[in-house]
Amino acid sequence: MDIINYWPLFMIFIIAWIVPLFLSWLEISKVPAVIIEIIMGVVIGPYVLDLVGETPYLDFLADMGFLMLIFLAGLEIDVGKIINSFPRYKIRKIDLISNSFLLAIFIYIGSIVLAFPFSWVLHHFIEIDIVFFTLIMPTVALSIIVPILKADGEITRKFGQILLMEGAIATIMSIILISIYSGVLKYGFQVEILLFSVIFIAFVIIYYVGKQLVKVHTFQKLLYRLEHAASQIRLRGTVALLLFFVVIAHIINVELVMGAFFAGVWLSMFVSKERSALLFKLDGMSYGFFIPIFFIMVGVNLDLSALRFFQESIPFIIILTLGLFITQVVPALVMVRIFGLKKAMAGGILLTARLGLTIATAQVGISLGIISSADNAGIVAASILASLISPMAYKLFNSRGEEYHPILLFGGSRASLYIAERFSMHNVSCLTYLQSKEIIPEFERKNIDFKQVEKLDTSLLDTLDLRTADLVIVLTESKRLNRQLARYLKDQLNHNKIITRKHSALLDLTEKSTETKLIDQDEILANHVEDMILRPDSVASLSVSFDIYRVEEIHITNRDIHRKLVKEVAFPPSGSLVIQRRGGEIFIPHGDTHLLLGDIVTVIGNSTALTEFRKILEEQI
């Protein structure tokens, strides 16, 4: 039995653990952690310290990390949003500059269109294959842009979705087109070259199988029963799904990354991305283990010997790097009307990041004999240079001023910490103002947005640009300060949307406005104790799993279910209708209750069930 050397793996995880801590401690936000991890990989690799060399099991884990990263990138694609965003009848001019998917396609086509004349001009100075360079220039390093967008909180927003889709399109199209081109150069045009379409067919077949499975009640019960047990059935099934598509890609002899991406897109069509327990587990498994290994091993395996031709390649490197930025930034300017010039340029700059796929494609070019070793050295150097410059330049251009928060929380008490934590968990934008230094470490440890002020008083309120719709929650540790702040907000600033503790001196505030809410702590405590005694199981279940199950109010706006009975609608089995309000009437819905437009329905369930409730009850725009 061979003895496995765990020293290299230990070295990698020491780096993976220290780098984020170091960057956070020094408050270095302009340099992404993945770039430092790659550089540290070079340092411990064979060309510098030679602490980590060729290790088969590490290469396998790194490959798995790359596949997991592309899989998660596919998982972030909101297929439903893309389909719903398509023009109903014909494409209008406004759709070309507002539809996320069309914008992503436009940016990719624009980069291809610009890459061809640039390669043609470059051909007049350096002997290159014009078609090959036209195909290699639009490639995008999803492995770099996904962690950056995720860290910035952009990945689920429109801006991040456009960049993600463009990166995905560029990655898949580059793999397909380069595979076809290399096949044509090797064997001429053959029907076998089109085998990559098999993965599309498999995707459609497995999608319809999945649609049928989710309708099987017994299958859903088994998944629910085993989801949080030692079997972790959903997580195991997800890994099996990833490997299924990877195996198909291997069988038809296309890049495995294509299979990983399609697996992620497939799963995204069945899993709610809003606080899904499965996604938390996948993130933990991927970013906690596999993905750091991938990035560090990229540095370890980087062939610096290719840079022995560096001196003669300097002009080529500069021109190629410049071309990479031009071919991405110029098409990205189509986003100016939506996000403004600075952010549109930031998006184009981030898309310029090049790494694994570009370097791997260069190796294909060498094997085909269409680029020289000097060209390969130039491509490697330009890719590294672009990967170092683009994330830092992106951070510079995408740096935001004071972020707007629709909820302001004046805190200091433990209650304010709990509320801020729950807002953060629900992705609700909230800024907490703190004066008490004792509670600040708790906010920092839980990574909750806060602003420390020297003195929390009415003079601070005068400096805030409060909007009418802003909600102000006053929960400091001082009853007297709570009264002062609430009174000043109401009487001096004419602001009505206030929530604070109930005091006899503030009762008149609720008489003047229904938007001002007072919290009676004694009443809440009494209600909670009553629930603990009379409804102990319900309280325990919701207390332990409040991050999985929650209650929401949904307005019925979907005309397709107007006047239908509850029993006629296929509501998700993992949720339930609790209360229905119609005008001033409140009742508990049952099978023969009609659903009318304008009704407000209170529902309970996990994140997947709540997403289904919204799809059924709300009009899809």
Sequence spans of domains, the chain? 7-397, 407-524, 548-617
Q: Write out residues in the chain with pLDDT < 50, as ranges.
A: 1, 274-275, 544, 621
Say what the pLDDT of residue 621 is: 46
Nearest CA to 383 among 15, 35, 19? 35
The class (CATH top level) of 7-397 is mainly alpha
Q: Please give the Cα distance from 268 to 274 (Å, whole number).
A: 11
For the residues of 41-100, what is the DSSP string, one character each? Answer: HHHHSTTTT-SS---HHHHHHHHHHHHHHHHHHHHT--HHHHHHHS-SSS--HHHHHH-H
Give the pair of three-digit tokens for residue 619.
């009009």
Number of H helices, E strands in the chain: 28, 12
Say what the pLDDT of residue 481 is: 86
| Total residue count of the chain as it appears in this document | 621
What kind of fold does domain 407-524 have according to CATH?
Rossmann fold (3.40.50)
Q: Identify the residue whose tokens are 């195991």.
A: 236
Say what the pLDDT of residue 299 is: 79
On whether the CB atoms of residues 140 and 169 are closer than 8 A, the answer is no
Roughly what angle, to the nearest 10 degrees, separates helices 56-75 and 158-187? 130
Write out the H or E segment, with its range, that includes residue 104: helix 100-123
Give the pair of three-digit tokens for residue 578.
């609790």
Q: How many CB atoms lie within 10 A of CB 425?
A: 14
pTM of structure: 0.59
SS (H, E, C) 287-325: HHHHHHHHHHHHHHHCCHHHHHHHHHHHHHHHHHHHHHH
Strand-by-strand arrangement of the 498-501 sheet: 450-452, 430-434, 407-410, 471-474, 498-501, 517-519
CATH value of 548-617 in 3.60.110.10, 3.50.30.30, 3.40.50.360, 3.30.70.1450: 3.30.70.1450
3-state secondary structure of 271: coil
On whether the CB atoms of residues 337 and 99 are closer than 8 A, the answer is no
With residues binned 3-state (H G I as helix, E B as strand, rest as coil), the percentages for the chain, rounded to 5, are 65, 10, 30
Say what the pLDDT of residue 538 is: 62
Phi, psi angles (nearest 5°) of residue 612 = -65, -40
| DSSP summary character for residue 505 | G
| DSSP summary character for residue 286 | I
